[in-house]
Amino acid sequence: MDFLRHSLVSLWPMASIVGIGLVLAWLINWFVKRSQDGASGLLYPLLNWINVSAVIIALIIMLPISEETRGQVLSLLGLVLTAVIALSSTTFVANAMAGVMLQATQPFRPGDYIRVNEQFGRVIKRTLVNTQIQTEWRDLTTLPNLLLITNPVTVLYREGTIIFSEISIGYDVPYTRVEELMLVAAAQAGLEEPFVLVQELLDHAVAYRVCGFLPSIKNLLSARSNLRKTILEQMHGNGIEIVSPNFMNQRQIEPGRKIIPDSPVLHDRRKPEAASLAPEEKIFDKAVEAASLEELKLDLESTREKLKVAQAAQKEDGGENDQKLHDLVAALLRHEKWCVQMIQKQEKGE
């Protein structure tokens, strides 16, 4: 009986430490799920790592051993931890540090189009060690955070970007005529403030580039495709062929024959499908969901800030604008409730 009592007394502090660690783990999980990044962000693994490390050190300190042995165990633990960090510094730790840097700088957020080397797609989520994007083939690609730190990352502005297309036209066509038709094509493709550049004077033709501002990048791939379509319509519809240096190397053609379709699209009564049937909705479905959830969280945060200001003004008001402030606070509360409901639905996948 005395042995059992002595065992319980000696083990009680260690059991308390384990219990406190479990409670902290539950609190971390509860807290992080309500944060903006959620459990998939950087905060969750960092807090769990700190909690587990603190529990292990506390257990070693509470072990019923001599001070000398305890010091040796802690030294050994430090050596093991140092060796693990040294061996994995080029992988996990390096990517984790890169993830912390990305979290601090916030160069992009879910839903953004990014390009890193040959990788292009829309961001789905960013974790402690990697970032996941959805490519134009609807595939999911995981990029190590270290890659995003050590290489230039191009992020397309959500408020709009400039898109372009390049073609080569023979020297027999005046550049003024080509510029005129390319500006018409850019306008038909829905681009704002288009302009044309003469890129290069090649041996066989002149290289042109038409550029224009795209106000919304929601349907980026469709917009680029539509620009190329309208260029083909204008060039072939006006009797101008788009040449290639391999034509004469591939096959002989009759002098004066133009390499354009027999029935140019510009003169065809059939029109392309409506832009509303954009393939981006299917290609970037995961990224669109992530962007929508991110925008809802930002909207909720902004609404709560406005609500605080309105409630503070309502307390300070002397009664002159009481009804207006009451209506404003009620509207903000309704919008806050709606945002919370929508966020919960999206997180549950409904």
**pLDDT of the residue at 208:** 95
H-state helical runs in 34-165: 43-62, 67-87, 92-105, 145-150
pLDDT (tens digit, 9 = 90+) per residue, 86-119? 665 567 778 888 888 888 888 998 889 999 999 9
User: Is 0.75 surpassed by the pTM of this model?
Assistant: no
CB-CB neighbours of 206 under 10 Å: 18
DSSP string, 283-309: HTHHHHHHHHHHHHHHHHHHHHHHHHH
* Per-residue pLDDT reduced to its tens digit, 10-43: 666 777 777 888 888 888 777 766 665 554 555 6
- With a cut of 90, say whether residue 170 has pLDDT above it: no
- Per residue in 40-65, pLDDT (tens digit) is 555 667 777 787 878 877 777 777 77
What mean pLDDT comes out for the span 266-275? Answer: 51
pLDDT at 229 over 90: yes
In whole angstroms, how far apart are CA 50 and each of 31, 64, 104, 131, 346? Answer: 15, 24, 19, 22, 30
How does pLDDT run across 62-80, given as a tens digit for each residue? 777 777 777 777 788 778 7
Average pLDDT over residues 206-214: 94
Confidence of residue 121 (pLDDT cuts 50, 70, 90): very high
Of residues 135, 136, 131, 86, the one with CA closest to residue 105: 131
Q: What is the pLDDT of residue 252?
A: 67
Asked if pLDDT for residue 274 goes beyond 90, the answer is: no
Q: Report yes or no: 122 and 281 within 8 Å, Cβ to Cβ.
A: no
In the chain, helix, strand, coil percent, each to 5? 55, 15, 30
Query: What percentage of the chain has pLDDT greater than the value 70?
Result: 75
